[in-house]
Amino acid sequence: MEYSRVSSKVKATPSGATTPLAVLFDAYGTLFDVYSVGSLAEQLFPGKGQALAVMWRDKQIEYTRLVSTSNDGAHYQPFWDLTRAALRYACRRLGLNLLAEFESQLMNQYRHLSAFPEDREVLRALKDRGIATGILSNGDPAMLDVAVKSAGLEGLLDHVISTHVIRKYKTHPEAYALGEKACGCTASKIAFVSSNSWDALAATWYGYRTLWVNRQGLPFEELGTQPTRTGSSLHDVLDFFA
């Protein structure tokens, strides 16, 4: 699944900008709904499911930053391990008794997160236009393989790129560089799509054409840079090719 299929021709839009040659998607939160675990969490911990889903995700991202920036990555752990550690922390913080069977159920649910309903339609539309597509994710290869298969996205992605190979997580520049290497072109010729504002910002800083998928109507980061585009669903990536 990790191969390049990129045309050497660059098409100009009426504004003078170039049409992207490839589109890379963040996985967790963008293609796969990280908060879909809340339903199971609510069954296991009535009244606490949503709070657990939110804290679990926040701590997971915090841990990726912690292990990437401390001692030059000497404390790196795979994303799966960080996800488990974040679940345990969130349950302790919320005073929840995480039985071994509950942990197993929740982690298994994280392997099979719900896909957003427009995923297949958008990926198919890009493929029909001859645009290379892929995932650029913090998820480790085994996690991504299961998630892609579970969502029925096999055959719609030219690249499934995991930052595990460099033992650093986004927003490290080396993580974003993996997309250029896979697609065989510079970041300025690639559209990067993320529903995580911090990810969209860092990708913009790196040089990608970016789409921030703002499904929740949130403000963007206040650091002086805006994404190339902002939309409310994955459908908005097609505007790059209007």
Specify whether 26 is catalytic. yes
Determine contact, residues 83/110, Cβ cutoff 8 Å: yes
Measured distance CA(76)–CA(165) in Å, rounded:
12
Residues 6+ apart with CB under 8 A from 119: 31, 151, 153, 234
- The SS3 assignment for 229 reads strand
The residue count for the chain? 242
Amino acid at 189: K
Measured distance CA(77)–CA(98) in Å, rounded:
22
- Active site amino acids: 26
